[in-house]
A and B are shown apart, each in its own frame.
Chain A
Amino acid sequence: MVELTTILIGLVASGLSFCVPILFASLAETVSEYSGVLYIGQEGLLAIAAGTAVVGALYFNSLWMGLGLAIVVSMGFGLLIAFLAVNVEADQIMMGIGLILLGGPLASYIINESLGNKLIYSGYFGPITNIPFVGEALRLNVLAYLGFMMVPVVWFFLFKTNWGLKLRAVGEDPKVADGMGINVAVVRYVSVIIASVLVAIGGAYLTIGLTGTWQGNPVAGEGILAVAVVRIGNWKPQWALGGAVTLGVASAIGFSLQALGLNVASELLQSLPYIVGLASWAASSRFRRWAGPKALGQAYRRQ
């Protein structure tokens, strides 16, 4: 029995560790979608953040500077996305597809140009173990704890502050919000940039939070699973946490079973989070009504 508890704790611990990028991406998607901007391109932005975090960490010899560089670069892309969505009134789905395709190759190119074929090892944020009871068992690092803390912060921001109210008003009906004197463009720019910062931390976690190295694009669906998590959880940050943890555990099950020496093909186990994501969307569709912003994906032009 002791062994079973050890395995279960291990499963939860690695599940929580794997869920961090999905969690950050889900919170980002929530903030962005509430203002009416669809942000499916974060799958690509995660890769750019993961890559620039390694570059920054090696360049400045500091993990925090790596995180900083990832955040700055992501904010730049946030500006671009907001510009396309707000000013150019681009199709937000097509724009997202473009960014998804841009991310992986651009990140590889940046790594190639700045670090070449040298051994790329940046190191990573080690686990915080001096928290009583949980620290030693879960072995999560500072970025992971930051992610969990962001859940109530984002909830408070969206539902309890004046800014959050404005943001949601813009996503619900930009025309009415405009009439109330809210600057729709500014609110959308700010929400997309906040989302980009969250994505940056989630992306950086994949490299300087987990592996400490870049061996090709580490993003494998975290950004797009986050879009699913937000829909399934009806745009509620607390449900985003639940969804992200579920998918994190689904990713961890594969590793746990392999550690137990079970002879199941690794590819089948690796596809578990994708299947769980699709299945839970399908299963939840029957008893779920659209609670999302009404003007999602629509550009607003002043008459």
Chain B
Amino acid sequence: VKYNLLLRIFSPVILLLVALLVAGLVMLLTKLDPLNVYESIFLGAFGSSGNLSETLNLAAVLILTGLSAAIAFKANIWNVGEEGQLFLGAIGSTVFGISSFGAPDFHLLLALVAGFAFGAAWGLIVAGLKIAFHVDEVVSTILLNYIAFLLTGFLLGSVLRNPNAIFNQSLPVLQSAWLPTVDGTSLTIGIILSLVLAVAVYFIIARTVLGWEIRILGSNPMAAEYAGIPWKRTITLTMLISGGLSGLAGGILVLGGTHVLIAGISNSYGYTGIGVAALAGFNALISIPAALFFSALIIGGIGAQSQFGIPFSFIETIIALVILVLTARVFLLRRVLKWSS
């Protein structure tokens, strides 16, 4: 049993190394030294306290989109809509951030809740379409992502537009809704929020009735029907939480980073959440180190971009490669167990 546990932990790590090895081969083909590049990415992510702050700030966002993907996947709901839900959350936090509604003390809380609510609403559309009309969520979530980008563009060009800015951006978020930073650094409290929510999601899945329903639904939908699981309610609640977490990620990006809404608020951070969940095996707590890995790859990758001329698309390619390679995880486990017995 102990041996199995060890395998379970190491199989994703082995596959992760395979993905990095493939990426390294591509670098060799383009006459780059992969070890140099990976070293530079590592230093770019952790080399100084400033870089470390950035890595942790992004990890906070990726933990949330990772949890968003993980809780839905756990219930066999293939929510690929983290990116769109993130944009909706960013819109929500911006709308409630540009005016304080006469309550500056609760302004930050209000703006965060708005982010969660907007993302959750976008997620509920998916649940509604699935329950009432059997619309496959892989299709509906991706189409809703495209609609969310267009909606953001529309709002930035109309009602939310800052007339004084050269580029399309929203009016600025008031300082009372900014995420506080740790003294003397750019590290925001977003990471604490994310860690708390990771524990909360772990608790929901492992210890609550909803979590039990999610696990049954995920392991065998047919059995769920027979066991009398209220699957419509389970799907609705799961998508509400899942969409809300991605929405909150968008809120953190605005309230803790840009302080305005821009069309380029996310570098595929919602999509990267799917990678986080895949790497973590849909486990909420393991999502934390998984998010840290992708965050380091992105922040370090931005540094490597200027040093080695590696385009950001290459970093995105590695992230997708990790997801693809990780699909071999069950296969690898089965093979090793068979061989060892």
Contacts and interface: CB of A to CB of B under 8 A. Distances in A.
Interface of A: 40, 43-44, 84, 88-91, 93-102, 104-106, 108-109, 112-113, 220-221, 224-225, 227-228, 231, 265, 267-268, 270-271, 274-275, 277-278, 281-283, 285-286
B274 A221 contact: no
Contact of A105 (B138, B158, B314, B324): B314
Given A91-B327, A98-B327, A224-B142, A267 B313 contact: no
B151 A102 contact: no
Question: Chain B: interface secondary structure?
Answer: helix
B78 interface: yes
Given A109-B313, A225-B143, A102 B136 contact: no
A84 B143 contact: no
Given A97-B323, A105-B320, A281 B151 contact: no
A275 B323 contact: no
A273 to B, nearest CB: 9
Nearest to B334: A89
Interface in B76-106: 78, 80
Given A84-B327, A101-B319, A268-B154, 13 more contacts: A94-B326, A97-B138, A100-B80, A101-B274, A101-B320, A105-B320, A106-B317, A109-B311, A221-B143, A227-B138, A267-B150, A281-B140, A285-B133
Nearest to A103: B320
A277 B143 CA distance: 8
B320 A265 contact: no
B209 interface: no
B134 A102 contact: no
Contacts of A108: 311, 313
Nearest to A106: B317
B317 A109 contact: yes
Given A89-B330, A108-B311, A285 B134 contact: yes
A105 B313 contact: yes
A109 B311 CA distance: 7
Contacts of B221: none
A93 B271 CA distance: 14
A250 to B, nearest CB: 12
Interface of B: 30, 78, 80, 129, 132-136, 138-140, 142-144, 146-147, 150-151, 153-154, 157-158, 268, 271, 274-275, 278, 311, 313-314, 316-317, 319-321, 323-324, 326-328, 330-331
Given A96-B138, A221-B146, A282-B129, A102 B327 contact: no
A285 B140 CA distance: 14
Nearest to B135: A281
A271 B150 contact: yes
B149 to A, nearest CB: 9
B328 A84 contact: yes
B253 to A, nearest CB: 19
A93 B327 CA distance: 10
Contacts of A95: 324, 327
A94 B133 contact: no
B324 A275 contact: no
A18 to B, nearest CB: 15
B316 A278 contact: no
Contacts of A105: 313-314, 316-317, 320
Contacts of B135: 278, 281-282, 285
B327 A88 contact: yes
Contacts of A265: 154, 157-158
Contact of B147 (A89, A274, A282): A274
A105 B319 CA distance: 10
A93 B320 contact: no
Given A98-B324, A100-B142, A102-B324, A282 B154 contact: no
A5 to B, nearest CB: 31
A99 B129 CA distance: 25
Nearest to A44: B320
A123 B268 CA distance: 31
A101 B324 CA distance: 9
Contacts of B140: 278, 281
Nearest to A94: B327
